[in-house]
Every structure is written in structure tokens, then in C-alpha cells.
Amino acid sequence: MLPMLRRLLHDFALPQTLMTRNDGERVLTNLLHLSELLQQAAAELDGEQALIRHLGDHLALSGQAGEEQILRLESDEQLVKVVTIHKSKGLQYPLVFLPFICSSKPVDGSRLPLQFHDADGKSQISLQPTEALIQQADDERLAEDLRLLYVALTRSEHACWLGVADLKRGNANTSMLHRSALGYLLGGGAVLAESAELNVWLHDLAQGCEAIALQPVPEPTDERFSAPRNEAALVKLLVPKRRAAENWWIASYSALRIGDTVTAGADESPDSPQAQKLFDDERLDPEAPRDILTSGGDIHRFPRGPNPGTFLHGLLEWAGNEGFVMTAHAPEKLQDAVARRCNRRGWAGWINTLSDWLQHMLNMPLRLSPDAAPVALGELDQPNQYRVEMEFWFASNNVNVAQMDTLVRRFTHDNAPRAATETVSLNGMFKGFIDLTFEHEGRYYVADYKSNWLGSDESAYTQLAMETAILDNRYDLQYVLYLLALHRQLKTRMADYDYDQHMGGALYLFLRGSRSASQGAYFTRPPRELIESLDLLFQGKPIAHDLPGALA
């Protein structure tokens, strides 16, 4: 932030332009102060958008700024802190000035309800206060002002200046000084008959006390105060001897390099769930049909590739956003939604096939872990039980991807062989979109929809075939990172969170195999040691060397 703003000031000659204005020094100081505050915030935030949101939030709360954000003077050489008496409690200052200590704000009887205390000290209110109650409330206000006066007078270390004058309200001739805390002490509660009598009160107070000095207020002039400037010589500019390396970036599963391939295009990081689907699903088979067959058929004949796969994802996303329970029990509405989406693409021949497929997907009981009862998507109640396309971000501090991959391989799928990731470093933020996150019987799960074509009929979707597809595409890395994101979220939100008790696992739904014996559902739950080790790894902390996969 600071280099950017200083370049802006230099390129547009803003200091020279601003200093021609009467308030130019004030505006320039505000700009520099703002840039310093944003520079401090940038060290704790990730990315320009986060910094913009931070600035917007503070602009919306401009009246509640903290001490570090109070208006800065043009020069700090003669720094003056302006604080309220309330905020000065417990603090000491070398010199204290109380220019308005004789002011007071009497109780307004028209502002209801009127608050006061009875003879037993209990708080009371009145909606029809009498003059006596108003006077009682104002006496209580005066008592509080006297207490604050004591606080104010005892803040200084060396000297304290009090501005004393006779105060009258509006065009009234009657003095109101006696209703202020200081005026009450000077006159013992008596009304000041004439302004000249105030000098008598002050001399009576100062008589015999060397610590009190009376000074008349100086006559006003046209002279303008200018703070002295520091004329210290500028130090020699320090030039760094090496060039700083910038390796901060936003990564996702889709940007990981696996073997000699990249799961996404170049180093892109998808910025939407739809973009992620194009990256995450199976790579397009060169021999797969590229045109949608208009004649229809079963789900296995539905064309393969990123775009048809995204279409299937979109149907489930629509059902989730509308409400799984509602769409599962409204077949006419479901078919209407499928028809509208198909007709927009000229796929009318697939309406019945895809409607039957979606209806079956929503109502089939999904088998999870052995100790959990099956659950259908159509039994999940929005919004208490699930989130569709939950986006997550978490920091990655110089994560060695090869070390992460070694951990994942050792702890999952019995260390089965699979393509290795390239040795790169994740430093910055890690982001992603989880197709479905849901809770069932007190445990939390992530689900991911896969449109991968494993064969021409239901018999192709065995547990072994689905596991092979997961390993071939390295979806094991994907679900482990999704579970890590969920693990961190639950740790933050649940005071009694325990991985073994609350984490359900990952469910991969191979959409074309929903009518097979396996339901096209592959469930897994990696051990606690893996998720906790990855949590430490992404924080930049060392992991236990005795863990399988730990690197020395």
C-alpha cells in the first residue's frame, strides 16, 4: 500500500497541488495516515478484495474508530491528545487543559422517560415528571459531574489549566454557572448574581494556595499558530542488496500439478463453482462424442466431457438451492425445471431420462459409514442440515506439496500406487467449492458429484472401479483438502469439536452409476492423524517425525 500511494502522489504531483489549498497539509496528512492503516491491515489480510472490504467496513463504522484511527495532526512534534474525561480514567498526562469545565447540560424534562433514584437508591423512571422530579434528576446529574470533575483534576502530572467563565443560556440574564460542577464548588451552590462577582469567587479560592494561579484569557488576534518543524537532515537511502521474491499466490485443487499433467488450465484458480466443475471433472476423452445426442437414451449414453458434466452438476445444485425435501416430493416441478434447462440447449430428447435420473438421485438412501444410518438427499432439510457449493479459503504457509502428497498416500487407500504431485510450494491462500456439505446424526460430511463415465452400464460402477477412478484423477487429494477445510470450520464453530466424534467423512457420487448395486457412491473417512498433520503443515508448523509420511 505505501509504495503504491507514494507512487501515486509522485506521478500526479499531489503534494504540490494540495499545498496550494488552505487545508492542503491536513488532506495530505490524512492520505498518508490512511495508507499506513491499510498497510498494517494488509499484513493480516489476503488479497486486494479483502483489503477493500476491510476499508468499506471501517468507513461504515467511522463513528466507532479505535484509538489508532483518530485524526492525526499535521505534525506530531507538539502532539496534543483530545480525550473525554470518561476515557481519561486511570491515565496520566504531563499537562491537562480543561477549557470547557464550566459547561453543564441540565436535565431536559421533556425527554421521556425521566430517570432518577428514590430514597432507597433504586432506579426509577417517570413518564409524567413534576418540577420536583426534574430538579431531583438534575441534582443527580450534578453529583455525577462533580465526580467527573475530580477525575479531570487528578489526571495531570505537572499542571492543569481550567477555563472559567460565567455561562448563560440563550438570551437569559440568569447565570447557570452554579449548575456546573466547578461553579457549584466555587459558590457553594449559590447563583452568581453578576459576572464580575466570579473574580471574587476565584480570588477567595486561590487565597493562601500557591498551587493556584489566576491568569486572564489573552485577547484574540489574527495570528495563526504554526508548529515548529524538525529540520533534521535526511538519512542516506538504504538500497536492498537482493531482490525480494514474490511467491504468494491463490491455489486450489484444480491448480495442483500431478505427474506430467495439470488438473486445471495453466495456473488458473477457478473463481466460481461452475468454473471448478470444468476443471475438476474427468479429462475429455478425444474419442468421446462432442455433440449431444438429441434422441435420448439411458444416463450412460448421455455425452461425456466437462460441459455435459457441468449440466448434471447444475441439476443437483438447483435441487439443493430449491430445497432437497421440496424437489424430491414435487416430481412435476422437478420435470419442469429439467425441461426448461434441456430445451434451452436443444436437448428435448433427454428430458425424461434426466428427470427420472434426478428423481432417483434425490430419493435413494445413501450408505455412509457402517455405524451411520443411510440418508437420502431428499431427507436433508435446508438450511439447517446442508450447504450447497460452500466456498472455503484458508492460508497456506510455504506448504511442500510433495510432503503433503506423501502424507495423503500413506494414510489413504492402503498406500495404493497413484501419480505423484510435482514438487511445488503453496504459499498464500488455498480455496475451493464443495458441492455439498451436510450434517447427519451429529456428524458432518462433504459430498462431491462426479460425472465420470466408467462403463456402458451399471455393472461398471463397482467400489473397485470407483476407487480406481479416484486414484487415477487424484480425487484423494481433493477430498482430503475439503475435509481439512471442514475440520477447520468445525474447530472454529464448535466448542466441543472432536474429529472422531463429529467428522463423518467424504462421499463421492458417480452420477451415472446411481442405479448400480453400489449406487455410484464411494465413501471414505481418512484417519484423524492425517487431517491434523495437514492442519499443522498448512500453518507452517512442524509435524511429528514419527508419523508415516513425515519428512525429516
Domain ranges of the chain: 2-59, 93-206, 249-261+271-538
* Structure-block grid coordinates of residue 76: 506530531
With CA atoms as reference, report the closest residue to 306 among 283, 289, 325.
Answer: 283
- Distant-in-sequence, close-in-space partners of 302: CB < 8 Å, separation ≥ 6: 308, 312, 350, 353, 354, 512
b/e per residue 240-267 (b: at least 16 CB within 10 A): eeeeeeeeeebbbbbbbbbeeebbbeee
d(CA 517, CA 33): 66
The pTM for the full model equals 0.57
Task: Quote the pLDDT of residue 87.
Answer: 87
Catalytic residue among 280, 405, 435, 448: 448
- Distant-in-sequence, close-in-space partners of 234: CB < 8 Å, separation ≥ 6: none
Long-range contacts of 103-111 (CB under 8 A, 24+ apart): 103/167, 103/180, 104/141, 104/142, 104/145, 104/167, 104/176, 104/179, 104/180, 104/181, 104/183, 105/141, 106/138, 106/141, 106/176, 106/179, 107/134, 107/137, 107/138, 107/141, 109/134
Question: In Å, what is the CA distance from 219 to each residue of 101, 160, 162, 510?
Answer: 20, 21, 17, 88
d(CA 320, CA 311): 14
C-alpha dihedral, 133 to 178 to 192 to 114, nearest 10°: -30
Contact 538, 397 (CB under 8 A): yes
Query: Alpha helices, DSSP H only, in 188-328?
Result: 197-206, 273-280, 306-322, 324-328
Chain-centre distance for alpha carbon 417: 40
257 forms beta bridges with 262
Contact 33, 46 (CB under 8 A): no
Q: The domain 93-206 belongs to what CATH superfamily?
A: P-loop containing nucleotide triphosphate hydrolases (3.40.50.300)
With CA atoms as reference, report the closest residue to 488 among 546, 551, 429.
Answer: 429
Long-range contacts of 189-198 (CB under 8 A, 24+ apart): 192/166, 195/166, 198/164, 198/165, 198/166
Domain over 249-261+271-538 is classified CATH 3.30.310.50 = no
Task: Quote the pLDDT of residue 516.
Answer: 96
In the residue annotation, 76 being an active-site residue is answered as no
Q: What is the pLDDT along the chain (552 residues), one digit of tens a residue?
A: 777 888 888 888 888 888 888 888 888 888 888 888 888 888 888 778 888 888 888 887 765 555 555 555 555 545 678 888 888 888 898 999 999 999 888 898 888 898 999 888 899 999 999 999 999 999 999 999 999 999 999 999 999 999 999 988 877 788 889 899 999 999 888 988 888 899 999 998 898 888 999 998 888 888 887 777 767 777 888 888 877 666 888 998 877 867 544 444 444 555 556 555 555 555 544 444 445 455 567 899 998 888 899 999 999 999 999 999 999 999 999 999 999 999 998 899 999 999 999 999 999 999 998 889 999 999 998 678 999 999 999 999 999 999 999 999 999 999 999 999 888 889 999 999 999 999 999 999 999 999 999 999 999 999 999 999 999 999 999 999 999 999 999 999 998 999 999 999 999 999 999 999 999 999 999 999 999 999 999 999 988 755 555 543
Which helix (H) or strand (E) segment is 436 a member of? strand 425-440
d(CA 541, CA 539): 5
